[in-house]
Amino acid sequence: MDKIEYFLKSKDKALYNLKKAKKDNKLDEDIGEIIKLINSNKDYFTSSSCSGRIVVIELPNLGNKKEAKFLGKWHREINYSEIMEAIQLTNSGMIWLLAQSPILHVITKSYLLADKIVKIAISSGFKNSGFKSTTKNIIVEICSTERLDSPIGNNGLLFANNEHLNFLVDISNHIIKRSRKKLKIFEKNLIKNYNKV
């Protein structure tokens, strides 16, 4: 199987999985139009995406993501009481509050095509965007610089006081707001450059 055949087969599989995710309500609304736009272009398809999220997780130890337990996850702005409710679910391990900007993985046929979409992403504010290749695919990662990773407790005990936790919630919400704005700019720039991509 040559690279083009592999690309087309991979795109069919990705679009099937996307359809299933939509049916199961697992697709973020804020990124839906962008995904549709990218997938409608014959030279690209999306393999994974997230519109940005705020997460409270419990880690048994630092770096052990495989055993991380999600206590709360939101693809929107949140309030202090939601964080407190999530923390009540903790048992043992470190408690972290994370705020993550959007991330999209796009597969394309060539480095030239990858370079074009990376330039659109960077001009839209996604400054950490770039691409890498595997044996058969060229993968573009579209992402931004804004994020928050803050330990807030351990073994059921909250170390952050109310004032500090409210401050972290404000920062997290700010990241989500900025993310929405960047996604809108990216969508407009994709439409504007659609025939050039």
Residue-wise pLDDT for 67-121, tens only, equals 889 999 999 999 999 999 999 998 889 999 999 999 999 999 889 999 999 999 9
41-75 residue pLDDT tens: 999 999 989 999 999 999 987 766 778 899 999 99
165: pLDDT strictly greater than 80: yes
- Rounded to two decimals, the pTM is 0.88
Compute the distance between CA of residue 165 and CA of residue 22 in angstroms, rounded to an integer. 34
DSSP 75: S
Q: Give the CA distances from residue 181 to residues 62, 114, 124, 126, 185, in Å, rounded to whole numbers and listed in that order.
A: 32, 23, 9, 11, 6
Q: Output the average pLDDT for the chain.
A: 90
pLDDT for 1 equals 66
Q: What is the pLDDT, as a whole number, of residue 194? A: 64
**DSSP alpha helix (H) spans, 25-93:** 32-39, 80-87
Q: In this model, does residue 196 exceed pLDDT 60?
A: no
Alpha-carbon distance of 171 to 146, in angstroms, equals: 10
Would you tell me the crossing angle of helices 32-39 and 3-23 to the nearest 10 degrees? 150
To 5 degrees, how large is the angle CA 130–CA 54–CA 13? 50
Q: 3-state SS of the chain: helix, strand, coil percent to 5? A: 45, 25, 25
pLDDT tier at 28, thresholds 50, 70, 90: confident
Instruction: Give the per-residue pLDDT at 2.
Output: 73
Per CATH, the number for 3-196 is 3.30.1960.10
Residue 177 to residues 91, 108, 158, Cα–Cα distance (Å): 31, 29, 26
Residue 183: band (very low, low, confident or very high) from pLDDT cuts 50, 70, 90: very high
Q: Is the pLDDT of residue 161 over 60?
A: yes
Work out the angle between the directed axes of helices 162-192 and 80-87 (0-180°, nearest 10).
110
How does residue 6 score in pLDDT terms, banded at 50, 70 and 90?
confident
